[in-house]
Chain A
Amino acid sequence: MTRDVTDCAIMLGAVAGHDRRDSTSIDIPVPDYRAALATDISGLKIGLPKEYFIAGLDPDVQTSMDEAIATYRRLGAEFVDVSLPHTDCAVATYYLIATAEASSNLARYDGVRFGHRSAAAEGLITMMTQSRSEGFGPEVKRRIMLGTYALSSGYYDAYYVKAQKVRTLIMKDFTEAFGNADVLLTPVAPTPAFALGEKTGDPLQMYLSDIFTIPVNLAGTCAMSLPAGFSAAGLPIGMQLIGKPFGEETILRAAYAFEQATEWHTRKAVI
């Protein structure tokens, strides 16, 4: 989103806060995020979720994470092992809930008042079906179909409701992990960045690359990613810092300290 942590803090300060036209936003004061930026993080307790440091992790990613941990130790942070036991359910849970919502959210693109309207339409039903068939791309259609299925009568309990229950378990995982840690440090993805279009032929593989970032979205807590190294092939590797709900100041401070101690944010990938 931004080039460095300071810009990120400024940006967040501009967009954060209560929106009275959004019932899901909470009415609490917005902190001065920029004032939270500091290099002293001695005593900060950083949790390492064991489910994120698994055998299948790309060796270059592992190396970058090891280096990041070493950097933080030098800065005076302490490390604790934590567990987020429902991590392996996160992708399935997310792709049920998010697609269910998307199938409904995108229903308004029916060609009646806005968006694409098919020129070939001859009546109400064809106007709606043709407009949607022509207007949406394959990934969106795939998600609408998945979500419609998950909400259908006879499948709702088995898919959507179950996914919501697992979501609660995932939230509980985070609450417990934060009992022992101020922030969590994880890789952003199991591999370095992949090439543009490389995985569109295999959507499931593509969905799985989100495995480390999706649980945070389900749990509704805050996180940020920042540059933490490059692979042997010169592709960027990201580090994720996860905070407690409304713990943005803490993760911004941890990120700022890391950024001041490293040079990764100044380098660009060779494309």
Chain B
Amino acid sequence: MAHQKGGDLMRFQPVIGLEVHVQLKTDTKIFCGCSTRFGAEPNSQTCPVCLGLPGALPVLNRKVVEFAIKAGLATNCSIAGRSIFARKNYFYPDLPKGYQISQFEEPICQRGWLDIHLEGHEPKRIGITRIHMEEDAGKLVHSDTPGLEDGSGVDLNRACTPLLEVVSEPDLRSADEAVAYLKKLYQIVTWLGLCDGNMEEGSFRCDANVSVMPVDSDTFGTRAEIKNVNSFKFVKQAIEHEIQRQIDLIEDGGTVVQETRLFDPTTGKTRSMRGKEEAHDYRYFPDPDLVPLVIDTAWVERARSELPELPEARQKRFMAELGLPGYDAEVLTASRGIADYFETGVTAHGNPKAVANWVMGEVTRGLNDNGCAIDDCPIAPAQLAELLGLIDAGTISGKIAKTVFDEMWKSGKAPRAIVEEQGLVQVSDTAAIEAIIAEIIAANPGQVEEYRGGKEKVFGFFVGQVMKASRGKANPAVVNDLLLATLKQHPGGTT
């Protein structure tokens, strides 16, 4: 029986494990005092230690340990009382010492987990094997850079930058689960302020181990490792492509080989980078330049006491205490900045649902349109609350409020000042509105005829005309009531 390419996902079960590299937002590097700032002049943030000069020795940055402990606690890991650093030996021009200082046996965090929630599925617990600390390598700059027309350069600014490597258990069974897990981890490390979350600059990147096995099997297939994918979208594409590639290969009678593969975003495909034979023997061994890291309970407890309320707990609180629907609570805890903004707004205004609607609506739209983060939002939560207060008081309509919001964004002025300057105060005065209605009715006898003949849809036309004539300032509820009354008052017309 011939099989069709791209078929038979049903007969196979994908097995996925992720290794995520999280660049830590410390001011200085992991083993020296150089700055970790991104984008500086090449090799301007280096010293004998991170240049790998003979005789220079590594000294561990305490902050990195603190960040690792926090990451471990937030992902339900146990923190090792003693952990050691190891050298991972390989030659590459961006690795000045010829080895990377990492952790191998005895990492700082072990045996954790995260729960993921896929829509329409029960929550699923994904195991975390380990989290360890390590230094990043430098970066090669190639000949497309001015001044390097006939060669490559090495920029060691990134060398020795602190990373956490978070290794999951092979518990993930689809690309969607993998992405959900990644997003959850991303949310936690950015929430805790451990990572700036800038995926384009490589602050959060992942390697995916993918294999497939027949659904009735419990033996994992041979896995391929996809290296260095740095966006959620690409992770999904890369894993989906790799699963299909392996299934097609097996169904064609082939076998999956253990290898390292690269994902090409332009084609959406993975391709072989190196096979098992060319795999490095990293010759890990404990780094004799560093002593074992001893972490006492007091240090762990201090770190625990400094942890902010975590996203999941905050989401639950928004639902239980503020009465938000689950969807709103989830959206408003997507980042700590959004959650803080929302909560400050609620403190100032008092109506959680109204604040939630505005934060998820206008504030989010403003941020997206202007490509800025919540921390850079030009409208403070207190100003938003003031704006909502003007709606509550009937001073402006919800529609006008959006205009005021845009003006606040542009000018930074207070909402009340904008409303007064531009004369946007809502007209609720019945006499004024009745006068406008009379004009509109007089000017549109045809439509009046239609309405009175039973074509009630024309009512909307009148509302629109009255609002337009009042330049949006008429109180819509009052307009509605008065229009209805006026049109009904003269049944039968002119006869």
Contact = CB atoms under 8 A, between A and B. Distances in A.
A101 interface: yes
Contacts of B99: 104, 107
A20 B59 contact: yes
Given A20-B59, A104-B89, A151-B89, A114 B285 contact: no
B57 A151 contact: no
Interface string B49-69: 001111011111000000000
A112 B91 CA distance: 10
Given A156-B285, A160-B285, A108 B59 contact: no
A22 interface: yes
Contacts of B93: 110, 112, 124
Contacts of A103: 89, 283
Interface residues of A, number: 24
A143 to B, nearest CB: 15
Contacts of A110: 91, 93, 98
Interface string A151-182: 11100100010000000000000000000000
A3 interface: no
B97 A22 contact: no
Interface string B39-52: 00000000000011
B59 A113 contact: no
Interface string A239-260: 0000000000000000000000
Contacts of B87: 104
A80 B47 CA distance: 52
Contacts of A113: 51-52, 96, 154
Nearest to A153: B281
Given A107-B99, A108-B98, A112-B154, A23 B58 contact: yes
A100 B291 contact: no
Contacts of A128: 91
A21 interface: yes
Interface in A129-143: none
Given A21-B57, A114-B53, A101 B288 contact: yes
B98 A104 contact: yes
Interface string A79-119: 00000000000000000000011011011101011100000
B289 interface: yes
Interface in B51-108: 51-54, 56-60, 87, 89, 91, 93, 96-99
Interface residues of B, number: 26
A242 to B, nearest CB: 22
B290 interface: yes
B289 A23 contact: yes
Main secondary structure of the interface of B (DSSP, over half): loop
A165 to B, nearest CB: 13
B285 A104 contact: yes
Contacts of B283: 103-104, 148, 151-153, 156
Contacts of B56: 21
Nearest to A19: B57
Contacts of B51: 113
Which 8 pairs of residues, A with B, have the shortest CB-CB distance?
Answer: A107-B98, A151-B283, A153-B281, A108-B52, A112-B93, A108-B97, A108-B98, A22-B57
28 contacts: A21-B56, A21-B57, A21-B59, A23-B59, A23-B289, A24-B290, A103-B283, A104-B98, A104-B99, A104-B283, A106-B98, A107-B91, A107-B98, A107-B99, A108-B97, A110-B93, A110-B98, A112-B93, A113-B96, A113-B154, A114-B54, A124-B93, A128-B91, A151-B284, A151-B285, A152-B281, A152-B283, A156-B284
Given A23-B60, A110-B91, A151-B284, 6 more contacts: A23-B58, A107-B91, A108-B52, A110-B98, A113-B51, A151-B283
Interface of B: 51-54, 56-60, 87, 89, 91, 93, 96-99, 154, 281, 283-285, 288-291
Interface of A: 20-24, 100-101, 103-104, 106-108, 110, 112-114, 124, 128, 148, 151-153, 156, 160
